[in-house]
Amino acid sequence: MLTRVQAFDRLRRNLELTGLQERTVAARHKAVRSAVAAQLDVTDDFLTGSYRRQTLIGPLKAADVDIVVVLDRAYRDRGARAVLDAVRRALLAEYPSTPKISRNMHAVTVTFSDFVVDVVPAFARPWWTEGGWEICDSGSDSWIVTDPKKHVDISAAANRTHKGDLVPIVKQLKAWNRTVNRPLRSFHIEVLAWSVFGTSWWWHTEMSSDWECVRHFFDKARPKLSQQLPDPAGSGGDVGAYLNGSALQAAISKMTTAHERCVGADEAAKAGRTQAMHDVYAHVFGSY
């Protein structure tokens, strides 16, 4: 029977993308960029989201890969929904046999047979602003300011502060989130982790074992779900604004249960009940 150290080491490995999957993502990014550029005036494009922050978890088939496609600013006058529709038409023209290409809140989602790609149309902000990009909000037919490249920098700096241990913890938290039917958005989990553990060497929580870090997160992140959590890049709004009413209560409940289970697993481990410990962690992390 695996020890707790061995079990969490295996959990880390189970969450990694394989080299083949990495190459598949790279090839798909190039193809999607070319598909949009064949129909629209594209000035830049880049991978972003969990993949770029190295917090995407396998299997790839269950993951979303985000691609930002920066369009010529002249398209912006059409409005957010019209821009998303234009990108959707461009993708339909290049992928006519793809079963599902749909407009999402901020992106056009392309459901390929192997994994999902979210194509996020964006516009570079004018030079006299503080930088970043404007992306579509189809709900209000308006624009949201964000800076995904700064998010990548924040994530990388925080991971360096914690000597490479923060990203694996974030992946484990995403495994929990997927196991309990995703009460939280992926980016929300990352910002919560940055808030709980800190992003700079002079103000952070010392990271110990994986299981202690996960238990600590569930304990300290719970009250933060009911509070405003500003976009750490300084360009967006409340990262958790989508959570309200029953969705908020469900997220708090599931995080509370996860914390209680981690405490129970600790007690089982200390009592030498190794199988019971594994059984409890299996409820937290599911098939991973």
Q: What is the mean pLDDT of residues 50-66?
A: 85
At 235 the pLDDT is: 66
Query: Given a cut of 80, is residue 220 above it in pLDDT?
Result: yes
- The answer to whether the beta carbons of residues 197 and 162 sit under 8 Å apart is yes
At 183 the pLDDT is: 97
The burial of 66, by beta-carbon neighbours within 10 Å (0-12 exposed, 13-18 middle, 19 or more buried), is given as buried
- The end-to-end CA distance of the chain, in Å, is 17
* Residues of the chain above pLDDT 90, percent: 67
Place of tokens 């997160």: 217
Note the pLDDT tens digit of each residue in 163-190.
999 999 999 999 999 999 999 999 999 9
DSSP state of 134: E
- The tokens of 1 are what? 């029977």
Note the pLDDT tens digit of each residue in 78-132.
999 999 999 999 999 988 887 789 988 899 999 888 888 999 999 998 878 777 8
Helices (H), 56-185: 80-94, 148-161, 166-179
Task: Output the DSSP codes for 173-197.
Answer: HHHHHHHTT-SS-HHHHHHHHHHHH
**Of 95, 138, 139, nearest to 120 (Cα)?**
138
- The tokens of 97 are what? 């046999």
Whole-model pTM: value is 0.90
- The tokens of 101 are what? 């290409």
